[in-house]
Amino acid sequence: MEEIPAAVQFVCGQLEQAGYSAYLVGGCVREMLRGGEVQDWDRTSDALPQKVLNLFSTEAFPTGLRHGTVTVKHQGLPVEITTYRVDGAYCDGRHPQQVTFTRSLAEDLRRRDFTVNAMAMDLRGNLTDLYHGQTDLRQGVIRCVGDPDSRFGEDALRILRGLRFASVMGFSIEEQTAASIHRNQSLLQQIAPERIRVEMDKLLCGRGAADVLLAYPDVLGVFLPEILPSVGFNQRNPHHCYTVWEHTARSVAAVPPERVLRWTMLLHDTGKPSCFSLDTSGVGHFYGHGKASTAMAVRCMERLRFDKKTAEQIKTLVDWHDRDIPRTEKSIRRALSRLGEEGLRQLIAVKRADNLAQHPDFRWVQNEITKAEGIMSSLLTREECFSLRQLAVDGNDMMMLGLRGKEVGTMLERIFKKVLDGTLPNEKDKLLQWTKEKGETDHV
């Protein structure tokens, strides 16, 4: 079991000495019990916020008084304490209109979303588990506390939190809870896109992501309608033994759990259904689907308010996922200059995952990808030149040779192209020599 940090123990101890109760609650209890990594140590207490402020005086800060949260800073570590509370009526399926404090731990646990998140533990390790969270944790089940329809009706984000916890922990979703998730999916329309994206980031990186994607495309389709035509879409092509959606889900699971890569796989084939054609022998093709998917990915990412840098990375990877890059130094050098080292490494991971989610007869492609990776590594260790910055000559050298103004940049671009093609070595004296000769022939 993970050690409770000293600062957390101290703060809980002080509260108990002053005659209050103090419990660890929610995610940290769940993670301690399952041997996972604790993100934050949430505490709950019957002490009212004002009492906590008084007790810890200069160490206490009213960081979320409206929700009953006070932060105590002990030995530099922030420790959050939230007074037991009952959420008032929800008016919009997002925010409780008001919160009311209560003396009862049981009432505080009842407002929590899932049984595995509704356990409390005191400093001595005594567990309060009124909703059989431990059993569900052992059996790997996500189950609502109370009636699922009313819980999702109060706060629709819980629908996506449920899928997220199932994915991250590799749990299944209990039958009644699952049925209610499908039934209430449209409530997700009320949720801010930023909050949806944060949950999706975690969901996609979970170890159970493929299972969740396969079982709940209708739910994700509420905010990503672009994925829906892929569901059940037969590809009629020997490369593929899965529908577009099943291929997509498997490719997500086959790529390392980093958000850029996982989002890329989720969106990489969204354009396929609209590009489908059958040839005379009845084989399906998807000409131009890379471009179509890119356009759709851009729309999805705008809707979910992705930051510019991430959106740009994903867009490039979706755009390039189906381009053939010949396994030659020349073409890999070009790809490096267009994508950069990180970009090409990501593209290689994307291509691997795409292939792993295709018909097993085509696994030999992995060897070709390994070849490309080898060429990339050797180019990189030789510190070859993939950008103007790495060119062995610069603007000053050009000016020394008598070039001025626009000529400088134009000449550098010409040299760079030659180096990229492999027709000139990236060596200063050779490049200067070439420039001089070029300059002389240009002037005659």
- Please report, as ranges, the residues that interact with Mg ion according to CB under 5 A: 27, 39-40
What is the radius of gyration, based on Cα positions, of the chain? 29
> Where is 138: in which H helix or E strand?
helix 133-139
Distance CA 423, CA 415 (A): 10
Q: Which is nearer to ligand ATP, 27 or 284 (CB)?
A: 27
Q: Give the 3-state secondary structure of residue 13.
A: helix
Binding status of residue 155 toward ligand ATP by CB under 6 A: yes
Compute the least distance from the CB of residue 394 to ligand ATP, in Å: 49
- Closest among 122, 121, 117 to 132, alpha carbons compared: 117
Binding status of residue 58 toward ligand ATP by CB under 6 A: no
Query: Sign of dihedral through CA atoms 21, 26, 29, 32?
Result: negative
HSE-up (13 A, CA, CB side) for residue 2: 19
Q: Which is nearer to Mg ion, 40 or 258 (CB)?
A: 40
Q: Which does 199 bind (CB under 5 to 8 A by kind): Mg ion, ligand ATP, none?
A: none
Binding status of residue 411 toward ligand ATP by CB under 6 A: no
Binding status of residue 240 toward ligand ATP by CB under 6 A: no
Distance CA 348, CA 141 (A): 36
Distance CA 265, CA 260 (A): 9
Per CB under 6 A, contacts with ligand ATP among 5-44 are 26-27, 39-40, 42
Q: Which is nearer to ligand ATP, 40 or 342 (CB)?
A: 40
Compute the least distance from the CB of residue 338 to ligand ATP, in Å: 37
Binding status of residue 199 toward ligand ATP by CB under 6 A: no
Q: Answer for the pair 174, 135: CB distance below 8 angstroms, yes or no.
A: no
Residue with tokens 């499908």: 182
Q: Which stretch binds ligand ATP (CB under 6 A): 153-161, 216-224, 285-293, 345-353?
A: 153-161
Binding status of residue 112 toward ligand ATP by CB under 6 A: yes
Q: Which is nearer to ligand ATP, 153 or 439 (CB)?
A: 153
Binding status of residue 117 toward ligand ATP by CB under 6 A: yes
Compute the least distance from the CB of residue 155 to ligand ATP, in Å: 5
Query: Sign of dihedral through CA atoms 36, 37, 42, 44?
Result: positive
Binding status of residue 113 toward ligand ATP by CB under 6 A: yes
Q: Which alpha helices (H) appear in 170-239, and where do they start and end?
A: 175-184, 193-205, 209-215, 217-220
> Where is 259: in which H helix or E strand?
helix 259-267
Residue nearest to ligand ATP (CB): 27
Binding status of residue 158 toward ligand ATP by CB under 6 A: yes
| 103-140 residues labelled b (16+ CB within 10 A) or e (exposed) | eebeebbbbbbbbbbbbbbeeeeeebbebbbbebbeee
Q: Which does 221 bind (CB under 5 to 8 A by kind): Mg ion, ligand ATP, none?
A: none
Q: Give the 3-state secondary structure of residue 391.
A: coil
Residue with tokens 């027709």: 423
Compute the least distance from the CB of residue 224 to ligand ATP, in Å: 21
Distance CA 265, CA 250 (A): 9
Q: Which is nearer to Mg ion, 40 or 92 (CB)?
A: 40
Q: Which is nearer to ligand ATP, 108 or 384 (CB)?
A: 108
Binding status of residue 157 toward ligand ATP by CB under 6 A: yes
- Closest among 422, 442, 435 to 394, alpha carbons compared: 435
Binding status of residue 96 toward ligand ATP by CB under 6 A: no
Compute the least distance from the CB of residue 130 to ligand ATP, in Å: 13
Site residues for ligand ATP per CB under 6 A: 26-27, 39-40, 42, 112-113, 117-118, 155, 157-158
